[in-house]
Amino acid sequence: MADVAGEFGVPYYIFFTSAASDLGFISHIQQLHDESGFDVAEFEGNELAVPSWARPIPRWAFPPNIVNKEWLQLLYRIARVFRRARGILVNTVRELESCAVDSLSFTKVHPVGPILNLKAGAAAAGGGGVPEEEAIEWLDRQPESSVVFLCFGSMGAFREEQVLEIANGLEASGLRFLWVLRRPGPEGTRAGPTDYQDVREVLPKGFVDRTAGVGRVMGWAPQTIILAHKAVGGFVSHCGWNSTLESLWFGVPMATWPMYAEQKLNAFLLVHELEIATEIKIDYRNGEIVTAEEVERGVRRLMERDCSREERLKKFSDCIKKALMDGGSSSASIAEFIEGCKSSGGM
């Protein structure tokens, strides 16, 4: 589409749905490649300084596909398209990522977030999990901020060996939990996760009965409805950017367990730059088994009171809500974008 716009001499804008810091990482490695032949796939250092980040990014936080040369060439090509755009609208908030927003000088960046669908519902769970209505009713009976919510996004699912470790870790913690458990697609395919017909087939024998007083397991879930519930006190997440913004919006503390794409970058941002999240396994590698002890330790740490972390989280939660109000930073950025379109003849 950028090429089509160029043929007609029409300026184009891009909407970038991830974090501004992720955009900064992509544009920086592309610039290093084009100007000096830097090959991030063969980078052997421990960390890389990137202008959009306050701290150097450790090698383990790079997107896992970065070692794929074909994928990397596509990323470079896309980054060059970004640079030719008249502007980029980013689903973020200036107050959340001021370092990244201010460093992106190759084009005009408009932080217009958070763009969220807070009224989204979802289908009920599969036959073996708790239906949505029952899960909400169960949450209604729990004390405020007492429940750990575990959900790993639309593509997040684990093999049976890892499921057993998560289950054992949750049971050992003694904490209340609501766990979205889904069946991974067949190995070697791009098929997404589906709901189990009966979650008992993959959980430890007797787990559902033993934890009936403190937990529930369900299939596909209405994430925003659950995060908004007063009983939820912590969120174990894959760190997709939408999930991150939703958690921030509702002020729910996060424990990071990134799985794919740019999620490790997001986790590094949350834990080490913003210091508003803890971790289950921040440097997780696909196929690695996170032990029950690590899960137990991670969810316990998530649910412990940390006044400094809570204050920072509340500050950012308030900021992203105010950003879209009249006079807010994102509201002003949207208005600036519209005026830019008018002045260029794009409207």
Q: How many CB atoms lie within 10 A of CB 122?
A: 14
pLDDT of residue 125: 38
Instruction: Decide if 127 contacts 213 (C-beta within 8 A).
Output: no
pLDDT at 120: 57
Enclosing H/E stretch for 5? helix 2-7
Between CA 147 and CA 137 the distance in angstroms is: 13
For residue 171, how many other CB atoms are within 10 A of its CB? 21
Kindly give the residue spans of alpha helices, DSSP state H, lying in 204-344: 207-210, 223-227, 241-250, 263-268, 292-303, 307-323, 329-343
Which stretches in the chain have pLDDT values below 50? 122-127, 347
Contact by Cβ (8 Å): 239, 257: yes
Q: What is the pLDDT of residue 154?
A: 87
pLDDT at 186: 87
